[in-house]
Structure 1
């Protein structure tokens, strides 16, 4: 091979390979990468030819990895992860994470915390751009471990491959139908007052639901399996319709109560009625210093949000 010959497979070929595997279609991967589908297909076909293996089994109905593709995919992810971190370290002298951070967050964090955090970080690091992916902590940590994310804001984990920094704890609030006796008062509510109704939460993919299940057990009630929401908005609407009592984290509860004065939520008076949030990164990542700095900024943002709360939400 000539000393000037390009290294094969190229970074771009690996990037395209992983994108197609993640999206399940050439079209979806092409749109995500902002390239034409023919260009993507051509580059991957060239990679397969150069490697002498087929990585995707193509048919009119589905696209799936071959046995060789399944073996190569985690290695491709690892290489892309190492290159991203190599670039971030090289750019580190210019600011936090260089110029881009790909971060996974819980839905309540994404909608009710990250907009303010993004503004704060942009003020401190004008060149930094955040790419945000929402999901459950379980889903996001898997993406973190395989290199698709740089960091995750989610619930605590004992995973030995992950390092973490606790950020804050969200107090949990109860929301019931407007004609429910629980909605006739303001102020804290005792856990015992929830004993005669099912509690409503997200699907079991979210660790918040495990907390709600423990609270339900202490209250002598249960978490409804018939009405599990895909979003906090859905959980809230189910409660408003009388299906039970929604248990909501404070970021969501406070923001919605400010937006809608008719929305009644009451803080649950119980030592276990909280939802702890932490920042996670790979233990092997060279970006630990940046992650710890980011954690400090996120903690400051939460203090800013807390300072704006009215007396009813203290």
Structure 2
């Protein structure tokens, strides 16, 4: 039994496909298949059930894959301990970040890390919360910047900042001249939302649950459209298709001739942005360095948290 074989079975369990697992491991499919068959023969049991279109993990295979992941992490930890003896921050840090934070925080954060910790390059993965959680669990990521709440997966979590929401409306909209807006007033508007899978969509629905009803009633939202990104939705708002809610960090510094961003009346809805990592991850100094790099970013209107 080798670490390579263990990496192969973890990859197949994740991808549910031998071909994709082989690509992820940078080997040919026959090489991966032979290695896994050899391991199954050594253990005298089936780890995977091979179907016509998908591979599934057997009951005992699930336990073996979990144990394999732990062994791989512990082996990596040995290397990290050796590196820390020379430089605690040496080596790349694999960072995940959700779509509604990445475009607005990463430009500053990457510069901040390069300036402060050039020996710790960031390897970035932008994705949905559920995918980042899975990648953390399987060891593909070291840590991730996400917004609470998310399922309790036994991760270590450190708060970074609280981010208020604002309303985006077309420049010629009746609400555009307002100094603040209540969530109650948005019930009568055409609301543009992110598509399913984005956690920010869920945050908006918490602010105004009526958005979920797609109601044609005058007291509710008349229509609702979905977009693939905040920037796409902003363009839709600018063209007069409706209004939306966005996180404050996504508001550009320069005023737009086609959009107005208006604060909410108190209580102002917000989201808590956090850094999460596996409790078994041993590079504590790298986590602390990343947090410091975030705090060094310009975050106007955010409440920095140090708990």
TM-score category, normalised to shorter length: 0.7 to 0.9
**Is 1:271 matched up with 2:263?**
no
Structure 1 residue 138 displacement after superposition: 4.2
Deviations 1:141-200 (A, max 9, x none): 343244332212112358482332221222212223565323x43754444442312544
2:4 aligns with: 12
Instruction: Report if aligned partners of 1:203, 1:230 keep a CA contact under 8 Å in 2.
Output: yes
CA distance in 2, matches of 1:156, 1:124: 28
Structure 2 matches for 1:299-314, cutoff 5 A? 299-301=295-297, 303=298, 306=300
1:169 to 159, 162, 165: 162
SS of the counterpart of 1:280?
strand
CA distance in 1, matches of 2:213, 2:168: 15
1:310 aligns with: none
Instruction: Report if aligned partners of 1:188, 1:269 keep a CA contact under 8 Å in 2.
Output: yes
**Is 1:31 matched up with 2:23?**
yes
**Is 1:298 matched up with 2:294?**
yes
1:92 to 81, 84, 97: 84
Tell me: higher relative CO, structure 1 or 2? Use CA pairs within 8 A at least 6 residues apart: 2
Instruction: Report if aligned partners of 1:17, 1:44 keep a CA contact under 8 Å in 2.
Output: yes
Structure 2 matches for 1:71-82, cutoff 5 A? 71-82=63-74
Of 273-282 and 263-272, deviating more is: 263-272
| Bigger helix fraction | 1
Aligned-residue CA RMSD in angstroms? 3.1
Of 138-147 and 268-277, deviating more is: 138-147
Q: Residue 59 and residue 186 in structure 1: after superposition, are their counterparts in 2 closer, same or farther (change >3 A)? A: same
Structure 1 residue 277 displacement after superposition: 0.6
1:22 aligns with: 14
Aligned length: 291
Structure 2 matches for 1:1-314, cutoff 5 A? 8=1, 10-95=2-87, 97-157=89-149, 159=152, 161-177=154-170, 180-182=173-175, 184-185=176-177, 188-203=180-195, 205-216=197-208, 221-223=210-212, 227-237=225-235, 239-240=237-238, 244-254=242-252, 262-301=258-297, 303=298, 306=300
CA distance in 2, matches of 1:20, 1:187: 54
CA distance in 2, matches of 1:261, 1:37: 54
Instruction: Report if aligned partners of 2:95, 2:124 keep a CA contact under 8 Å in 1.
Output: yes
TM-score (norm 2): 0.79
TM-score (norm 1): 0.77
Structure 1 residue 300 displacement after superposition: 0.9
Structure 1: runs of 5 or more not aligned:
1-7, 308-314
Deviations 1:176-229 (A, max 9, x none): 3565323x4375444444231254433564443343233215xxx434665344
Structure 1 residue 295 displacement after superposition: 0.8
Structure 1 residue 122 displacement after superposition: 2.5
